[in-house]
Structure 1
Amino acid sequence: MNKIKRGLDTTLAWFCVVLFAVLVVDVTWQVFTRVVLNDPSGWSEELAKYLFIWLGLFGSAFVFGERGHIFVDFAVAKLPDAVKHWIGVLMQLVILAFASLVLVYGGYKISALAWDQNLTGLPVNVGWLYTALPISGVLIVFYTVYHLVAILRRAESGIAADAEPDVL
């Protein structure tokens, strides 16, 4: 499972880098056509919006894999290790429920609803763009199960602040 996680981490990191690079090129093109050519590109603004959404969703999945998400631990850090352990388990279960219900199930439903809607500025339908929700949800579910198992086996600390960062 560690090998799968490392491969997924590397793939997801590179995917985010590519999304960011395409976003930079797209926004540069948008500014160039607006300022230099005085003829704004109609599709580049819409593409930038969806690239930013995809980057945010897949970037958050990557951060979940690294346990780098925001965790307010000023009260939990003062608790005994056994309590921190079970709070960590509870938090992973809450994240698992949220990712499963909202991102995977809800993302699938919204993608299906929007599948026949066309975008005005891009030659794709809206459903393809919404598929980032269930895909990132599946990634977050995988990472959450990975960390939940590691916490239960006491290979990781219950709270992320005590965890050692993974190295790619």
Structure 2
Amino acid sequence: MRALKKASDRVLATACVALFAILIVTVTWQVFTRQVLNEPSSWSEELAKYVFVWLGMFGAALVFSERGHIAVDVVARKLPEPIQRVVAVGVQLIVLVFAGLTLVWGGLRLTAVGWGQSLTALPGHLGLVYLVMPITGVIIAYYALYHVASILRRDEVAVETDHTAEEV
């Protein structure tokens, strides 16, 4: 399971870097055509918006893999360690339900609706843009299950206790 997580982390990180590079090139082209050529590109703004959405979703999945999202755990840190584990598993199960219902199920429905709508300045359909939701939903659901298993095996701590905010 760890090898699969490491591989999916690498794939996600590579996808984020590639999407970020595409975003930089696209926005640079848009600024160049608008400011230097005085004739803005018709497709670059739309592509930049959609690449940004994909980058944000893949980035969110990658950060979730590392349990790096913000957490308000003031109360959880004060609980006994066994209760902290229960809370941590509960949080991961809530994320799993959210990923399954909202991202996967809702994303598939939205993708199906968007498949009938053409993009305005690019070839393709709006469904391609929404396809990132079920993809990242499956990835986040996998990571949530991975974290549940790791917490139960005691490979991961339930609640981080080393916070820099306490030092300030």
Task: Quickly name the TM-score band, shorter chain normalised.
Answer: over 0.9
Question: How far did 1:155 drift?
Answer: 1.5
2:138 matches 1:151 = no
In structure 1, give the amino acid aligned to 2:125: N
Question: How far did 1:99 drift?
Answer: 0.3
TM-score, scaled to structure 1: 0.94
Summarize deviations over 1:36-56 as a string: whole Å, max 9, x none: 000001110000100110000
Summarize deviations over 1:108-137 as a string: whole Å, max 9, x none: 000001111001111010011110000000
Question: How far did 1:149 drift?
Answer: 0.7
Identical columns (%): 52
In structure 2, give the amino acid aligned to 1:77: R
Higher relative contact order (CA 8 A, sep 6+): 1
Distance across 1 between alignment mates of 2:93 and 2:33: 48
Which structure 2 residue ranges, 5 or more long, are not aligned? 163-168
Summarize deviations over 1:77-106 as a string: whole Å, max 9, x none: 121111111100100000000000000000
Distance across 2 between alignment mates of 1:157 and 1:5: 17
Distance across 2 between alignment mates of 1:89 and 1:119: 41
Summarize deviations over 1:120-168 as a string: whole Å, max 9, x none: 1110100111100000000000100000111112211122x259xxxxx
Alignment of 1:58-137 (within 5 A): 58-137=58-137
| Structure 1 residue matching 2:86: 3-state secondary structure | helix
Match of residue 52 from structure 2:
52
Distance across 2 between alignment mates of 1:50 and 1:162: 38
Alignment of 1:9-28 (within 5 A): 9-28=9-28
In structure 1, give the amino acid aligned to 2:54: W
Which structure 1 residue ranges, 5 or more long, are not aligned? 164-168
More displaced stretch, 102-111 vs 67-76: 67-76
Count of aligned positions:
162
TM-score, scaled to structure 2: 0.94
| Structure 1 residue matching 2:118: 3-state secondary structure | coil
